[in-house]
Structure 1
Amino acid sequence: MFISNAYAASGTTTDLASFLPLIVIFVLFFFMIIRPQMKQAKEHRNMVAALQKGDEVVTSGGIVGKVTKVTDSFVTVEIAAETEIIVQKHAIQSALPKGTIKSI
């Protein structure tokens, strides 16, 4: 008479609540790490695509020079008088303002 059946509580709210911190961490990870890295990669692609003859650049190896020729995937860089090297476009780290090489 005093004993009644005990039914298990519904677990849907508990399951959702347990995944909520994981979802929040993923969203924070995306906005703090992945998105800025994607933006930086896009800026680098645009900079490499805009390279033209006469631009002053720094390679990923730290070599500073002036662009003398641009092809689809390679760039010829003059690093000294009558000394040129050919590097892949993605090896260009940054473009320098005009006149930087003369001031060094």
Structure 2
Amino acid sequence: MASPQGGESGSSNPIFTFIPIILIFLVFWFMIIRPQKKQQEQRKSMIEALKRGDHIITNGGLYATVKDVKSDHVVATISEGVKVQISKSAIGGVHAGEE
């Protein structure tokens, strides 16, 4: 049997083997990483915008009213005469000015 002339018959360009991997990475980027970064930026701006009088809800489900904002935590009241210190990372949401 004679081998075929003019090059290899079973091989393809190596770039074509990486195209599916690149496509999977792009889908992963646009479906997971990009929205997550946008959500982190929104959360950061929400935390930075905290001010006295804002109504917050913690990740644990406590509703409180902000009385003072410190660098890494807030002082809030959960009931009349009950003040608590809440870490900024434990704040789940802000409802500014709502009762």
Task: Specify the code of the residue in structure 2 equivalent to 1:30.
Answer: W
State the match for 1:29 in structure 2: 28
CA drift of 1:87 comes to: 1.1
| Higher helix content, 1 or 2 | 1
| Percent of residue pairs identical | 32
User: Would the alpha carbon gap of residues 23 and 83 (structure 1) be closer, same or farther in structure 2, given more than 3 Å must change?
Assistant: same
Q: TM-score, normalised by structure 2?
A: 0.87
Q: Using the alignment, how far apart are the partners of 1:86 and 1:53 within structure 2? A: 14
Asked if 1 retains the 8 angstrom alpha-carbon contact of 2:54 and 2:97, the reply is yes
What SS does structure 2 have at the residue aligned with 1:66? strand
Q: Using the alignment, how far apart are the partners of 2:19 and 2:41 within structure 1? A: 31
Aligned residues: 97
State the match for 1:18 in structure 2: 17
Q: TM-score, normalised by structure 1?
A: 0.83
User: Gaps spanning 5+ residues in structure 2: where?
Assistant: none
What SS does structure 1 have at the residue aligned with 2:20? helix
User: Gaps spanning 5+ residues in structure 1: where?
Assistant: none
What SS does structure 2 have at the residue aligned with 1:20? helix
Q: Using the alignment, how far apart are the partners of 1:75 and 1:56 within structure 2? A: 12
Q: Using the alignment, how far apart are the partners of 2:68 and 2:88 within structure 1? A: 11
1:95 equivalent to 2:85? Answer no
CA drift of 1:5 comes to: 7.2
State the match for 1:48 in structure 2: 47
State the match for 1:79 in structure 2: 78
CA drift of 1:99 comes to: 2.5
